[in-house]
Amino acid sequence: MKEGGKSELISWIQSVAIAFVIAIVIRQFLFTPVVVSGQSMQPTFENDNKIVISKVYKIDRFDMIVFHAPDSEDNFIKRVIGLPGDVVVMNNDKLYINGVEYEEDYVQENKAGIFEGQKLTQDFKVEVPEGYLYVLGDNRRNSTDSRIIGFIDEKSVIGSVKFRFYPFREMGIPK
């Protein structure tokens, strides 16, 4: 091999190695792709939607997060409803956090599919302890969330949902 060809090959190998290291660092510490499994976040996410989560985040109320589920090998995706110290009340399908009523636009499609007089979400009242979150799925009638598994330790959060990249027709920042 000629000297010029050898240095060209070394240059390519170095470039590929650097790109590989950068990709690993980004995936390990900044962003990672996740495939949604199940129906608990319908209609916001469907089964097999592909999303990107950020591992650098500040969790706010109504953010969608991915976390290690307690007593399970699975990771769950849910919406944060209660932050540490919040008093969360659901009364007649109306959400109150610290005494303030919040509209939940993301559940309206599911609410439209139930019979008059039925509730989408059963009534409850909880106070979120320090270091924990209260999460609910958007598909309230078919979601294993804090109503069943309890509060979510903030340390179990893997990341916050930032972008949907599949299906392509729904690509973008989820609401």
* 18 assigned to some structural domain: no
> Residue 68: which domain range?
31-169
Active-site residue (options: 40, 143, 146, 160): 40
* 11 assigned to some structural domain: no
* Under 8 Å between Cβ of 83 and 61: yes
Is-catalytic flag, 162? no
Is-catalytic flag, 7? no
Band of pLDDT at residue 27, cut at 50, 70 and 90: confident
Task: Give the position of tokens 């980004």.
Answer: 26
Count how many domains the chain has.
1
* 132 assigned to some structural domain: yes
* 9 assigned to some structural domain: no
pTM: 0.85
Domain harbouring 73, CATH code: 2.10.109.10
Greatest extent of the chain over all pairs of C-alpha atoms, in Å: 82
pLDDT in tens, 57-101: 999 999 999 999 988 888 999 999 999 999 999 999 999 999 999
